[in-house]
Amino acid sequence: MKSLFQKLSFVAAGLALATSTHAADITVKGSDTLVVLAQKWAEVYMGQHADVKIQVTGGGSGVGFAALQNQTTDIADASRPIKPAEKAACIKAFNKVPTEYKVAVDGLSVYVNDANPVKELTLTNLHGIFTGAIKNWKEVGGKDAPITVYSRENSSGTYEFFKEHVLNKDDFAASAQTMPGTALLLQSISKDKNGIGYGGAAYGSGARAIGVKKDAASPAVEPTETTVLNQTYPIWRYLYNYVNPALDKDAVHAYLTWIRSAAGQKVVKEVGYYALPADLQTK
């Protein structure tokens, strides 16, 4: 019994420590795409600044914005820009438009099985395949085999990005199989000869990323650091951090500045995303 009390008091003390108004407690919440990167940033930054505590949680870009609006997080991670409705909700909650910071660049790769002879597809081809208009690989220069389309769950920022930029907001084919994560999606494609899917470059192993052409006349571009950064690869996006302007000071501001500095951007490359172009970085 005594030991139980001891344990409980330890837990209580730990909780009190964790929730105490530490001068530099930063909470980060949002996109699952960004969570690995955000954790790495926090780890490196805390190693350099012993007085700062950073807590990172995922859940999805929308979850991050909801938390920003309820003021339960300092920084909201997002893999897509804030929506007007979310902006309005923030204004209603704290009378300010959240400040947007671009923090990294992500190239979305289109993956096929290693055995697939198709090497390149145009954006129009991709639109057809993912909306269900193109059903057979031979229509895009492959073997005579039905295409199995793999997509992400509609709660992911990746899903929304792909829908907006590749499908021009059209619906995904109903027959598209949805995977709860990019790792599982790649796993499935690596086991399915006729599979095709999309995902962040950070996870790119197990299946082959395909070259994408803007239109039939332009050359096929494979997603590499150079092609994503000079924007010749057509499917890329910024990753964002949003913050309540009233809270964007002291430790939070210092952290956000560090993220966008050369030191912070070095971490981006280690995790597998792409660093910001030089003009968006802080000195």
Partner 1 sequence: MAITNPGSKMNDSWVGIQRGQRVRPWAWLVEKGIFLVSLSAILMIFLIFVFVAREALPIFLGQVSTASGQKVIPVADMEKLTPAELQAYLGLTPRQYAEMDTDTKRTLMEVKIEELKGISKDPDTALNTVAWRQMIFGHQWSGYPAPVYIWQPVSEVQKYNIIPLLLGSLKATLVALLFSVPLSLGAAIYVSQLANPRVREWLKPMIELLAGIPSVVLGFFGLIVLATVLQKVFGYQSRLNAFVAGIALGLAIIPGVFSIAEDALTSVPRTYTQAALALGSSRWQAAWQIVLPAAIPGVFAAVVLGFGRAIGETMVVLMASGNASIVSWNIFDSARTMTATIAAEMAEAVVGGTHYRILFMLGTLLFVVTFVANLAGDLVIHRLKRRLEGKSA
Most distant CA pair in the chain, distance: 77
User: Per rule CB under 8 A, is residue 197 in the interface with partner 1?
Assistant: no
Please say which residue, 126 or 176, places its beta carbon nearer to partner 1: 176
User: Per rule CB under 8 A, is residue 244 in the interface with partner 1?
Assistant: no
User: Per rule CB under 8 A, is residue 184 in the interface with partner 1?
Assistant: yes
C-alpha to C-alpha distances, 153 to 42, 182, 198, nearest whole angstrom: 27, 10, 12
Q: Kindly compute the dihedral angle of the four CA atoms of residues 153, 154, 160, 161, in this order, to the nearest 10 degrees.
A: 0
Q: Taking the complex as a whole, how short is the minimal distance between the CB of residue 224 and partner 1, in angstroms? A: 30
Q: Taking the complex as a whole, how short is the minimal distance between the CB of residue 139 and partner 1, in angstroms? A: 16
The count of residues in the chain is 283
Please check whether residue 245 is in contact with residue 98, taking contact to mean a CB–CB distance below 8 angstroms: yes
Please say which residue, 154 or 257, places its beta carbon nearer to partner 1: 154
User: Per rule CB under 8 A, is residue 88 in the interface with partner 1?
Assistant: yes
Beta-ladder partners of 107? 236
C-alpha to C-alpha distances, 90 to 96, 115, 218, nearest whole angstrom: 7, 48, 42
Among 29, 163, 213, 260, binds partner 1 (CB under 8 A): 163
Q: Taking the complex as a whole, how short is the minimal distance between the CB of residue 24 and partner 1, in angstroms? A: 29
Site stretch for partner 1 (CB under 8 A), options 10-18, 72-80, 113-121, 151-159: 151-159
86-89 long-range contacts, CB within 8 A, separation 24+: 86/62, 89/65
- List the structure tokens of 26: 């930063």
- 3-state secondary structure at position 81: coil
User: Per rule CB under 8 A, is residue 176 in the interface with partner 1?
Assistant: yes
Among 53, 87, 127, 165, binds partner 1 (CB under 8 A): 87
User: Per rule CB under 8 A, is residue 239 in the interface with partner 1?
Assistant: no
Q: Are strands 75-78 and 236-243 parallel, antiparallel or unpaired?
A: antiparallel
Map the footprint of partner 1 across residues 96-135, applying CB under 8 A.
96-97
Residue 102 to residue 105: CA distance in whole angstroms: 8
- 3-state secondary structure at position 136: strand
Map the footprint of partner 1 across residues 47-66, applying CB under 8 A.
59-63, 66
User: Per rule CB under 8 A, is residue 217 in the interface with partner 1?
Assistant: no
Among 191, 253, 266, 269, binds partner 1 (CB under 8 A): 191
Please say which residue, 175 or 226, places its beta carbon nearer to partner 1: 175
Site stretch for partner 1 (CB under 8 A), options 103-111, 118-126, 189-197, 250-258: 189-197
Q: Which residues bind partner 1 (CB under 8 A)?
A: 59-63, 66, 83-85, 87-88, 91-92, 95-97, 146, 148, 153-156, 159-160, 163, 169-172, 174-180, 184, 187-188, 191-192, 194-195
